[in-house]
Chains A and B, each alone.
Chain A
């Protein structure tokens, strides 16, 4: 009698486990962000070093899967054209780069580049699915094919490029770690790391910003007394501590500092220095390696946005450029990029001839994307590394011919 009961028990237990596990096969992975607190708009380069090893392993797995994928189905580009939408990995909680708005939409600099790629491939900037990813899960998501491309203010580093099974596209935003101090304490834009001797420096915990500032302090040499480093869970707390006076100096990527200064309306009271950042943080797209066709599409979408900016073609006047185009009279580069000249090169890339016309029409050129998203938080193009190459910046694209 008892045995019979227990057999039943076992069966019920099994049944429940199965049902529980069956409740699963749903719509793919989910999204989110990390705990280490991505601060305003900057890549906590942080997870680079620490996660490098783990992600490397995952990357390798994904890589082999990817190879199989490529041999079976050709480029990811065909898959995207078949599927009819682009799956783009973003942060979802990075100020000005990818914000989740009140209506659930995702906006920002990175989000606009996702739209740009979708517009170029599919002719529709809304044929797009955003997948918000945490800093630690982004590379796994890319390697496993959960996302087609990653625009998640990811810093291009040697370890990431070589171990994660992915490749980086052209840098869309040159960031770098800087420090911010109070003018009242004698800091100015001309200050340097040697001036923060003995100061309480605050940043978010577990990121490379922490390592970078410690290294920078070490490099100052023997006369430098050292700094007191305080770390917080999240950059909102760091800013609050700075306002409260707990911290003399706060440090993170320059874009984040500028944003905080603008929001708190402290342009004259808070100084950001040194002019040359203490670290290099080139942010750009990332895609799986060994797929040149798709890589070219992403790269040239970014390049086209830059070239169109150089040519002064915006979402507002793109149509006028097309209408007023006369072969042999107008700039042939414009004709090729907008797909109205015989010599256009988009078709040979597997894109529609008007790919970049649609991109600039629906999303905008580099300057528009920058102005729409980054200027509102106080970031300026002029005079920064993100100015065009003719203006002394580093935003540069190979010629379209």
Chain B
């Protein structure tokens, strides 16, 4: 997700030839001679390490495919692993959420014209590799004769198909990477319809196992997702062809940013709005802020207002801070603070009538969005599950991870700017904060936010444990993000600052338009590393007893009467899930780096 967001920071390059330079290939025999058996020492090393790898693989396969393994525990508990106790009759909401992400992904791929071409030969090489691996699994794993044979068959077919394609096409044939991906996903999803993986479910208190293909409630939605991805991709291309590419990209970037909020608070939670209350409270508040605040901002954004504007903005800030002295609705205070922020930023956006109106429109949109969000959060959830948070498992992991990423990035940038600022107070504050957070073990921070944070809140304010630990995650991750961004800031040459100043830019303009874009581009690899780290660190939620993926795998499933003690299978499965997410992010960031030329310029 983050990768998608950062994509728009990049200057999107139009579809130039994305083909990697062609590497001349040696025939297999010579390649082995050159790379594996070039000297006696190398030959010995090759043999020894191949044997070690085979032994490890054999051990791992022996573990995974041993008849003692209770994989039916994993199969039966798929829903618990992915969505916790999310109610079955509302499960379509989970699919709709996935659909939103898939549709955004498809549209983005189309609009950004992502995906290049690759040589067919390199794909076929992968075909040989996968086929060989399947055969190897067949040899090494402790299978019965017929199962072994089917592995040989599948592996052999893959190799034969690769060979047939290779001899039928010429060397320079290229294929689209997206098409290859689509075929891969289609085969995987299609296999759900054809291959009898068996279907394990827990229905009305009884474990039901059938030998057929997986349930239609799984394969159906998955198929819809594939179709949705294809359709939205072509839709995205159409849009990009017909409309100036600028604003679809903006809309998509904003949609990505808003998607976790929409998914969590509107799709999954389905807030039960009290429309009477909204009409009497939220609507007047909206009108007051949108109209009153809008007029104020319109005036403040005038280029001729000068010092008076700054004084008014400062007064707004003081007034906003003063709202905390008297009891009132939280939302009024938050909006007052937002208004103060907009008032202070107004000079930067000053300009002609149209520019000022645009600024006021953005303000009204922000008020509407914030009010909508806060009302939704405070409305009771319609979806009730058997525990106080409505979901768990992988869904909870992803919710905490994505909110942390979205919130900690801006906070990290602010901290980095404060740390490199010339004003001692901010520098000291930011440095103290960063060094403090980095000097404390993360689990300490997590336990603090889970146990102690609620005690620090005002009396009538309640925060769920999930929200509290997400704040903890955000504050922790932000400190590390800040250091990554600071590294980027320091790599910007002095001349860039001077050139910007020579153009008469304000500090804000200089930072936003000149320094940050360059600094963030340099910071991409460590920022992605941090993001992946955050994603994996969500497993610490299990330590404080929240029902994330690891907790379900480690504590819930092995303690079910039918699957008591089946902890190893679940841990292996959970690690595969974590790995797939982390690997996908890592690959996406590599692509992004290549596109932005990080490390080349």
- Contact in complex: A377, B202 (CB < 8 Å): no
Which residue in chain B gives the minimum CB-CB distance to A240?
Answer: B565
Q: 8 Å CB contacts to A: which residues of B394-434?
A: 403, 407, 410-411, 414, 417-418, 421-423, 426
- Chain B 543-562 per-residue mask, 1 if CB under 8 angstroms from chain A, else 0: 11111000110111011110
Given A19-B334, A27-B381, also A8-B344 (CB < 8 A) = yes
Assess whether A105 is in contact with B386, with CB atoms less than 8 Å apart: yes
- A23 contacts which chain B residues (CB < 8 A)? 377, 403, 467, 470
Cross-chain contact B337 with A26 (CB below 8 angstroms): no
Chain A residues near B103 (CB-CB < 8 A): none
Some 18 contacts from A to B, beta carbons below 8 A apart, are A8-B508, A11-B344, A12-B414, A15-B341, A22-B377, A24-B463, A26-B464, A30-B387, A30-B547, A92-B556, A95-B559, A99-B560, A103-B80, A104-B86, A104-B387, A134-B545, A236-B565, A260-B565
Closest to B468 in A: A24
Decide yes or no whether B490 CB sits under 8 A from chain A: no
What is the distance, in angstroms, from B202's C-beta to the closest C-beta of chain A?
A: 3
Chain B proximity of A334: nearest CB distance (Å): 29
Q: Among A7, A16, A20, which residue has its beta carbon within 8 angstroms of that of B414? A: A16
- Inter-chain contact A14/B426, CB cutoff 8 Å: no
Residues of chain B contacted by A251 (CB below 8 angstroms): none
Give the total of B residues in contact with A, Cβ under 8 Å.
85
- Residues of B contacting A263 in the complex (Cβ-Cβ under 8 angstroms): 564-565
CA distance A394 to B410 in the complex (A): 63
If A103-B202, A105-B386 touch, whether A8 touches B341 (CB-CB below 8 Å) is yes
State the CA gap A231–B451 with chains docked (Å): 27
Whether A100 and B203, one on each chain, are in contact in the complex, defined by CB atoms closer than 8 angstroms, is no
Name which of A31-39, A274-282, A384-392 contacts chain B.
Answer: A31-39
Number of A interface residues in the complex (CB < 8 A): 65
Asked whether B293 is an interface residue with its Cβ less than 8 Å from the other chain, the reply is no
Which of A2, A26, A92, A94 interacts with B377 by CB under 8 Å? A26
Distance A365 CA – B28 CA, assembled complex (angstroms) = 74
Interface SS of chain A? mixed
Chain A residues whose C-beta falls within 8 Å of the C-beta of B422 in the assembled complex: 2
Kindly provide the distance from the CB of A154 to the nearest chain B CB, expressed in whole angstroms: 16
Minimum distance in angstroms from B281 CB to a CB of chain A? 15
Minimum CB distance partner of B555 in chain A: A93
Task: Check if A260 sits within 8 Å of B564, measured CB to CB.
Answer: yes
Q: Beyond A8-B508, A16-B410, A18-B334, is A35–B543 a contact (Cβ under 8 Å)?
A: yes
- Neighbouring A residues of B78 by C-beta, 8 Å: 102
Bitwise interface map of A from 330 to 373 toward B, beta carbon under 8 Å scored 1, else 0: 00000000000000000000000000000000000000000000
Does A121 have its Cβ within 8 Å of any Cβ on chain B? no
Could you tell me the distance between the alpha carbons of A13 and B77 in the complex, rounded to whole angstroms? 43
B564 interface neighbour in A24, A40, A129, Cβ under 8 Å: A40
Q: Is A380 an interface residue (CB 8 A)?
A: no
Q: How far is the CB of A234 from chain B (nearest CB, A)?
A: 8
Q: Which residues of B contact A131 (CB under 8 A)?
A: 387-388
List the 5 closest pairs (A to B, CB-CB), nearest first.
A32-B545, A104-B85, A24-B463, A102-B202, A134-B545
A residues less than 8 Å from B560 (CB atoms)? 95, 99-102
Task: Confirm or deny: B39 has a beta carbon within 8 angstroms of a beta carbon on chain A.
Answer: no
Within 8 A of A (CB), among B553-578: 554-556, 558-561, 564-565, 567
Residues 288-321 of B contacting A (Cβ, < 8 Å): 310, 314, 317
Cα A119 to Cα B337 with chains together (Å): 49
Chain A residue numbers with a CB within 8 Å of B317 are 7, 11
Residue of A nearest to B85 (CB): A104
Q: Which residues of B contact A27 (CB under 8 A)?
A: 380-381, 388-390, 464
Among B337-358, those with CB < 8 Å from A are 337-338, 340-341, 344-345, 347
Whether a CB of chain B sits under 8 angstroms from the CB of A171 is: no
- Complex formed: what's the CA distance from A16 to B409 in Å? 11
B275-289: CB near A (< 8 Å → 1, else 0) gives 000000000000000
Q: How far is the CA of A20 from the CA of B411 in the complex (A)?
A: 11
Q: Which of B378, B386, B465 contacts A30 (CB 8 A)?
A: B465
On whether the beta carbons of B418 and A9 are closer than 8 Å, the reply is yes
Taking the complex as formed, is B79 at the interface, i.e. its CB lies under 8 A from any CB of chain A? yes
